[in-house]
Amino acid sequence: MRGVRVISRKGSSVLDTKVIPPEVGWYLAGFADGEGSFNVSFRPRNDYRLPWKVSLCFNISQRDPVILAQFKRHLACGTMRQRRDGVWYYEVNTLAALLENVIPFFEHFGFLSAKKKRDFAKFRQLARLMREERHLTREGAEEILSIRRDMNDGGKRRYTDEAIRKRFENPQRPYARSAAAE
């Protein structure tokens, strides 16, 4: 079986999707179409300039780790872990790996379902916004909230848009540096 090559581009490495056997790539894309998830989350932080850390994640969970190991192998990134109940997770949550491996993989192999195509397009838009560091401003956070609104059919969220906005108004973060001071 051929190994996964990575193409170097100005200090970063981009997954070379041409070396992934087509039958494997299409299988994994189809599996992710049904079982994968593209997510954006806000986590409260007291040590950031802004009151929230914004994170992106691609993940899949299954009881059998075999297919998840194939994702890890062919995407050449991410981690696998097992919960106490025996369910395995494959996840990629570093921005560089999402931009250089996950997004190129799914741009090449794609999805069939309209819903996953929509969620992936929004996820890709969010990743590019974060690459430009726009998530580090309140305006960027508002843009992220707007983009994520329809992702995963609204999904369940730990923090509502209103709770996120409210923390910007009253952050209560004694150790954070003021954005105005920079």
Looking up residue 30, the CATH number of its domain turns out to be 3.10.28.10
Instruction: For residues 58 and 170, give the distance between their C-alpha atoms in angstroms, rounded to a whole number.
Output: 31
Residue 151 lies in a domain: yes
Three-class DSSP labels, 13-68: EEECHHHCCHHHHHHHHHHHHHHCEEEEEEEECCCCCCCEEEEEEEEEEECCCHHH
Beta bridge partners of 40: 56
User: Looking at residue 170, what is its pLDDT?
Assistant: 65
Number of domains in the chain: 1
Residue 90 lies in a domain: yes
Give the residue from 172, 169, 122 showing the smallest Cα distance to 147. Answer: 122
User: Looking at residue 172, what is its pLDDT?
Assistant: 59
Q: What is the pTM of this model?
A: 0.84
Residue 12 lies in a domain: yes
Residue 110 lies in a domain: yes
Residue 26 lies in a domain: yes
Residue 182 lies in a domain: no
Give the chain's length.
Answer: 182
Question: Mind listing the pLDDT tens digit of every residue in the chain (182 residues)?
Answer: 344 444 434 445 688 988 999 999 999 999 999 999 999 999 988 877 788 899 999 999 999 999 999 999 999 999 999 999 999 999 999 999 999 999 999 999 999 999 999 999 999 999 999 999 999 888 999 999 999 988 877 667 788 888 888 887 765 544 555 444 44
Instruction: For residues 124 and 105, give the distance between their C-alpha atoms in angstroms, rounded to a whole number.
Output: 12
Beta bridge partners of 8: 13
Residue 88 lies in a domain: yes
Residue 1 lies in a domain: no
By residue range, what is the domain housing residue 116? 6-177
